[in-house]
Structure 1
Amino acid sequence: MTARDVRAPGLAALAALMADETRAVCLLALLDGRAWTAGELARQAGVAASTLSEHLGKLVAGGLLAEERQGRHRYVRLADARVAQLLEDLAAQVDPSGVAWPRGLREASAGSAMARGRTCYDHLAGRLGIAVTDALTERGALRQDTGFALTDAGVAWFEAAGIALDRRTRRPLARACLDWTERRPHLAGVAGAALCRHVLDAGWCVRIGSERAVRVTAEGERALSGLLGIEAGALR
């Protein structure tokens, strides 16, 4: 008799944690990389605060979320970058033909904004993320033919742009993350996180609405055009 894989119970428990639509809504919302209150997530999921609190307890106990308390407020965030990667990889497997169409103009506008540009935990995604990834690849800063790797020229590009790369972490310098709207990989890892943080801190991109959507500012269009040669039309 073949020995049973000891990881099976743990995998089943992990899958069960995500096999609930309310919990899935919360996990996907938290892919913006920020901490949310239970009340904010309850409104996002369209459920009562008491119901949401029970779901959050399971996600925290299961290691998918980390909890922080400030005074009377309870905040939760994704436990770490590995959880974010798992969620994005799973979301990319969802067949877009089976996704319900937006029910009104507001939802359609929000969906369009998310597809145009958004944060994926701590890096850029959507058409914006793909445009940046393609531009870095065309300039020899990023290689995609033998995996996903930042080249020496890429490291030099980040240094010249004044974007610090944290080499102390165990995260890979560059990692491919499959974009669920573009169905192509965008840049993640240390380099992706550093670039995303820089464009937000510099005001090249601003968050819009309560979702993960971001918009490139006029200053950002000029900066990304100068640094990467990306045409403004590709950023709008």
Structure 2
Amino acid sequence: MNTYPNISVIASLIADPSRAIFLEALLDGRALPAGELAYMASVTPQTASSHLAKLVEGGLLVVEQQGRHRYYRLAGKEVAFLIETMGSIAAPVQVRSLKQSNQLQHLSFARTCYGHLAGKLGISLCEALLREGYLEEPEDEQAKDYHITEKGIQWFTSFGIILEGKAGSRRAVARKCLDWSERRHHISGVLGDELGRRLSELDWTRQKAGNRSVEVTEAGKKGLYEVLGISL
């Protein structure tokens, strides 16, 4: 008798190309209406509604009613982590147009992933924090989390990121997250979210309208170089 979790149900939900597009579009943490998701996947509203109902029933999405409209978002960070991780082992997308090439280039440079920063920017942040001794690789190669050093706690505090009191939560503090575009690690968890929040607060990064890509401002390029030696 099989006593393992039935992952085939989740796999079948994600396997449909339209449903996969919905899930990837929601990785930035926004809640989007069915009509917008239908447009992104190039399907009819009726088809989108059927797919979205299955994703809600399967526990991958939640739906919120706002007046006549329904807004869909990922059911949680675990779902975002699953989709991002699957992207890191999936075959590269076949680029068929200049528009698609530009979108992929922007996403690979910097993007949001349900609160934290990914792409070249996210990886550069991770590697700089390791290089400066603010983070350390775990002793166990199979461990999933970076260790935040005392030096790191002091630096994060001076930078406007307070981690005290958040380490005891159920969420990981500095989770290693394999990046699908670069095949290296960026930082998720509480620290990843706080880094994303702080850079946006400083106006070093700006979320681009309508998609997950992130722009690094001129002030951000200067600031990241000054505080962490990151050249972008």
The TM-score, its normalising length taken from structure 1, stands at 0.90
**Structure 2 letter corresponding to 1:72:** R
Cα RMSD for the two superposed structures: 1.5
Which position in structure 2 is the counterpart of 1:132?
125
Which position in structure 2 is the counterpart of 1:217?
217
Match of 1:119, SS state, is strand
- The percentage of counterpart residues that share the same residue type is 44
**Structure 2 letter corresponding to 1:46:** S
Which position in structure 2 is the counterpart of 1:100?
94
Query: How big is the shift at 1:91?
Result: 1.2
- Residues 118 and 125, structure 1, Cα contact 8 Å, conserved in 2: yes
Per-residue CA deviation, residues 121-162 of structure 1 (Å, 9 max, x unaligned), is 211111101111111000111112534222222222211101
**Structure 1 letter corresponding to 2:157:** E
**Structure 2 letter corresponding to 1:65:** L
- Residues 138 and 147, structure 2, Cα contact 8 Å, conserved in 1: no
Match of 2:94, SS state, is coil
Structure-1 separation of matches of 2:76 and 2:120? 25
Aligned pairs for 1:37-186 within 5 A:
37-96=33-92, 99-101=93-95, 103-146=96-139, 147=143, 148-165=146-163, 166-167=166-167, 169-186=169-186
Structure-2 separation of matches of 1:138 and 1:131? 10
In structure 2, the gaps of 5 or more residues are: none
Structure-1 separation of matches of 2:33 and 2:100? 23
Aligned pairs for 1:26-41 within 5 A:
26-41=22-37
Structure-1 separation of matches of 2:61 and 2:132? 38
Per-residue CA deviation, residues 16-58 of structure 1 (Å, 9 max, x unaligned), is 1111000000001111111111111111111111110111111
Match of 1:203, SS state, is coil
Query: How big is the shift at 1:169?
Result: 2.7
- Residues 175 and 188, structure 1, Cα contact 8 Å, conserved in 2: yes
Structure 1 window deviating more from structure 2 (126-135 vs 192-201): it is: 192-201
Q: Of the candidates 21, 24, 37, which is equivalent to residue 25 of structure 1?
A: 21
Match of 1:230, SS state, is coil
In structure 1, the gaps of 5 or more residues are: none
